[in-house]
């Protein structure tokens, strides 16, 4: 009888310990569904992650990349890349009736800085629209509509794609005009998303769908093949400048 009593007490203690490991709601003592609890945080994270990405399109006479790199709480941060400028921004966002509203400010220490006011649909996030107001009140407001588009380095686009694929032979450049040599050289940069300061170069590439402004510093991006081809092209550019179109025909 005594042994039976010990066994029953042991079973009771074990059961009590097992039940005590279940979390309880502080308000009513009910058990909390830990599995459901665990899915809440990832869902919130995924929601914010959907805001991240680059949006590309016309911005006045130029092409802009509006890149959101961080979204936490109600804050966003990123960069705007346009007309040879790469400017950081920080802002806030809200969600109402299925629409995100973002107000993002550039630092203000550059003559071309301003404030972006943007909206995007929360159910698709495929694009953004809005306007940009320069800090200089005399400058006009720019309206824009941008589509989500990711920069991709491609070696098969633009003029003379082989310049990014393999070493060029001398005979491939010695008959090119000055303008063609300049285009071949700058197309190498454009494939890496280089945002040109020169207006004529921007106009040359910004009409191309494959071109996405992504950086104003090309260092560290060029391949060894491209570096060697650039040296070759520059040598012939120099001669073309000195002798004009009569050279290399």
Running DSSP on this structure, what letter comes out for residue 106?
-
User: 240 pLDDT band (50/70/90 cuts)?
Assistant: confident
What's the pTM value of the predicted model, to 2 decimals?
A: 0.77
Judged by DSSP in three states, 139 sits in coil
CB 142 within 8 A of CB 64: no
CB 183 within 8 A of CB 200: no
3-state DSSP helix/strand/coil percent for the chain, to nearest 5?
35, 30, 35
User: 44 pLDDT band (50/70/90 cuts)?
Assistant: low
Structure confidence by residue, pLDDT tens digits, 113-156? 999 999 999 888 899 999 999 999 999 999 999 999 999 999 99
CA dihedral 215, 220, 223, 229 (to 10 degrees): 80
Structure confidence by residue, pLDDT tens digits, 191-212? 999 999 999 999 999 999 999 9
Q: How far apart are CA 241 and CA 239, in angstroms?
A: 5
Q: How far apart are CA 104 and CA 78, in angstroms?
A: 9
Of 68, 71, 70, residue with least CA distance to 79: 68
Residue holding tokens 């285009």? 183
């Amino acid at each position: 009888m005594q042994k039976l009593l010990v066994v029953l007490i042991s079973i009771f203690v074990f059961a009590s310990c097992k039940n005590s490991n279940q979390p309880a709601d502080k308000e009513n003592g009910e058990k909390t569904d830990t599995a459901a609890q665990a899915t809440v945080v990832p869902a919130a994270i995924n929601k914010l992650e959907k805001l991240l990405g680059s949006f590309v399109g016309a911005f006045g006479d130029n092409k802009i990349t509006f890149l959101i790199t961080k979204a936490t709480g109600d804050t966003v941060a990123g960069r705007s890349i346009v007309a040879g400028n790469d400017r950081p921004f920080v802002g806030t966002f809200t969600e109402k009736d299925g629409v995100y509203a973002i107000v993002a400010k550039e630092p203000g220490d550059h003559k071309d800085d301003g404030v972006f006011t943007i909206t995007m649909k929360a159910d698709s996030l495929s694009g953004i629209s809005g306007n940009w107001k320069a800090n200089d009140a005399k400058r006009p407001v720019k309206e824009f509509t941008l589509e989500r588009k990711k920069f991709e380095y491609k070696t098969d686009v633009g003029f003379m794609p082989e310049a990014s694929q393999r070493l060029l032979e001398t005979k491939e450049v010695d008959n090119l005009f000055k303008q063609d040599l300049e285009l071949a050289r700058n197309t190498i940069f454009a494939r890496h998303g280089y945002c040109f300061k020169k207006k004529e170069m921007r106009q040359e590439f910004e009409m191309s769908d494959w071109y996405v402004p992504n950086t104003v510093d090309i260092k560290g991006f060029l391949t060894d093949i491209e570096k060697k081809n650039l040296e070759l092209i520059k040598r012939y550019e120099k001669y073309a400048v000195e002798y004009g179109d009569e050279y290399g025909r």
